[in-house]
């Protein structure tokens, strides 16, 4: 076992020198909106002629920092209650002003978005049903929504956001009919960092790889010979 472990360690070392690495970073959004509460809408019970729709909508911020250049939006996760999902118009706004329509007027008279994940390549949110538990792609139309204010999407999927955007991301809600409310429970954005290019080993690193492989191979051969002698 020990000899095999040495050989495997040498192989692992050589692989590590050639492998590119990537990782994901998840940032939890604020569950308190810019009006200092967690309700959706942030005041009243909705309607395009009422605030906050007329003053810019209900906004939850997410401060993102430390992203490397090239990091892309991999997914958006959320949990919130609402007693009439069809009222909800929801958008993701990037620090540079790009806007993605996540979902507008979906879910009928049913309630809530529970463990909902937006990710490119999944079935469109318009094919789902409340409480939209699971993974969906954003609705992604470029049609402007006029509800108190006009929100005009500029991208159709998560991959279209300009990579590496540090700053304040926003989850923006418009509630287009009165009589129903909800509460933000949690939300987050996950970014995929670009793979680190595989490094080209230096001469000393090559020496370490070859030495490790030779030592492991020698130990393995020695062990096999000892086993053979003991079995005679």
Q: What is the rounded average pLDDT for all residues in the chain?
A: 88
Give the pLDDT band of residue 219 (cuts 50, 70, 90).
confident
pLDDT at 40: 98
pLDDT at 206: 63
Query: Tens digits of per-residue pLDDT, 123-161?
Result: 999 999 999 999 999 999 999 999 999 999 999 999 999
Query: Tens digits of per-residue pLDDT, 30-67?
Result: 999 999 999 999 999 999 999 999 999 999 999 999 99
pLDDT (average), residues 196-201? 61
Inform me whether the pLDDT recorded for 81 exceeds 90. Answer: yes
Domain ranges of the chain: 2-18+198-231, 24-192
More reliable by pLDDT, 24 or 215: 24
pLDDT at 23: 82
pLDDT at 159: 98
pLDDT at 199: 60
Inform me whether the pLDDT recorded for 10 exceeds 70. Answer: no
Please state which CATH number belongs to domain 24-192.
Answer: 2.60.120
3-state secondary structure the chain: CHHHHHHHHHHHHHHHHHCCECCEEEEECCCCCCCCCCEECCCCCCCCCCCCHHHCCEEEEEEECCCCCCCEEEEEEEEEEECCHHHEEEEEECCCCCEEEEEECCCCCCCCEEEEEECCCCCEHHHCCCCCCEEEECCCCCCCEEECEEECCCECCHHHCCCCCCEEEEEEEEECCCCCCEEEEEEEEEEECCCECCCCCCHHHHHHHHHHHHHHHHHHHHHHHHHHHHHC
Inform me whether the pLDDT recorded for 213 exceeds 90. Answer: no
pLDDT at 232: 61
């Amino acid at each position: 076992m020990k000899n095999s472990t040495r050989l495997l360690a040498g192989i692992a070392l050589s692989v590590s020198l050639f492998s590119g690495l990537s990782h994901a970073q998840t940032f939890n959004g604020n569950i308190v909106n810019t009006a200092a509460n967690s309700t959706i809408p942030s005041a009243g019970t909705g309607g395009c002629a009422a605030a906050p729709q007329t003053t810019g909508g209900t906004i939850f911020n997410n401060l993102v920092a430390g992203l490397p250049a090239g990091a892309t939006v991999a997914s958006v996760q959320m949990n919130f209650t609402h007693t009439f999902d069809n009222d909800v118009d929801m958008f993701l706004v990037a620090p540079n002003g790009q806007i993605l329509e996540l979902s507008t007027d979906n879910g009928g008279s049913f309630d809530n978005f529970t463990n909902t994940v937006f990710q490119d390549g999944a079935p469109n949110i318009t094919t789902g049903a409340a409480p939209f538990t699971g993974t969906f792609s954003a609705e992604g139309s470029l049609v402007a929504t006029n509800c108190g204010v006009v929100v005009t999407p500029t991208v159709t999927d998560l991959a279209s956001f300009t990579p590496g955007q540090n700053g304040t991301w926003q989850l923006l809600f418009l509630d287009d009919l009165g009589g129903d409310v909800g509460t933000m429970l949690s939300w987050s954005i996950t970014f995929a960092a670009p793979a680190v290019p595989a490094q080209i080993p230096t001469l000393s690193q090559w020496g370490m790889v070859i030495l490790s492989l030779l030592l492991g191979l020698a130990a393995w051969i020695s062990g096999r010979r000892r086993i053979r002698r003991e079995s005679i």
